[in-house]
């Protein structure tokens, strides 16, 4: 088993017997102990606060991460508290996967959360290319 990362309210690990997923910007297992504060966000997309949609997949991903950071901050949490992602990608391709990995590795350079990337034909509004839903956890004092 690869080392467990447990400097947060949860423990991330990649068990032996499974391939190393870090090249794809995710981790296999997140363990959240009892008495942990859980924060769930609605899927965030590439709109800024004025309703302007970022023009490219990479820019929408960056804006979605900015929006996630703002939402987490509103409840005194950070991106470092995120242990689970669900990522919806319109017209998924190897090129978009590489852009996703670049942006996710920028946010979590050492220990990415668990996650699932789901290719979809479209999202709720035309022009949206990515939607990111997160679940975060914090230790209860």
Q: Whose CA is closest to 99, among 58, 136, 64?
A: 58
Question: Does residue 27 sit within a domain?
Answer: no
At 24, is the pLDDT very low, low, confident or very high (cuts 50, 70, 90)?
confident
Question: Does residue 30 sit within a domain?
Answer: no
- Number of domains making up the chain: 1
Paired with 135 in beta bridges are 40, 84
High-pLDDT (> 70) share of the chain, %: 95
The pLDDT score that the predictor gives to residue 3 is 56
Residue scoring higher pLDDT (7 or 43): 43
At 1, is the pLDDT very low, low, confident or very high (cuts 50, 70, 90)?
very low
b/e per residue 63-90 (b: at least 16 CB within 10 A): bbbebbbebbeeeebeebbbbbbebbbb
Q: Which domain holds residue 97?
A: 38-136
The pLDDT score that the predictor gives to residue 135 is 97
CA–CA dist 43, 86 (Å, integer) = 8
């Amino acid at each position: 088993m690869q080392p467990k990362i447990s400097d947060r309210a949860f423990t991330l690990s990649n068990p032996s017997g499974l391939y190393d997923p870090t090249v794809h910007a995710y981790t296999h297992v997140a363990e959240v102990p009892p008495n942990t504060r859980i924060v769930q966000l609605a899927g965030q997309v590439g709109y800024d606060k004025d309703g302007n949609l970022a023009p490219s997949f990479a820019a929408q991903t960056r804006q979605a991460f900015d929006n996630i950071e703002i939402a987490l901050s509103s409840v005194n949490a950070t991106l470092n508290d995120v242990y689970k992602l669900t990522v919806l990608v319109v017209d998924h391709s190897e090129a978009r996967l590489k852009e996703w990995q670049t942006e996710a590795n920028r946010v979590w350079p050492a220990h990415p959360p668990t996650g699932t990337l789901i290719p979809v034909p479209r999202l709720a509004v035309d022009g949206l290319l990515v939607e990111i839903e997160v679940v975060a956890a914090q230790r209860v004092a």
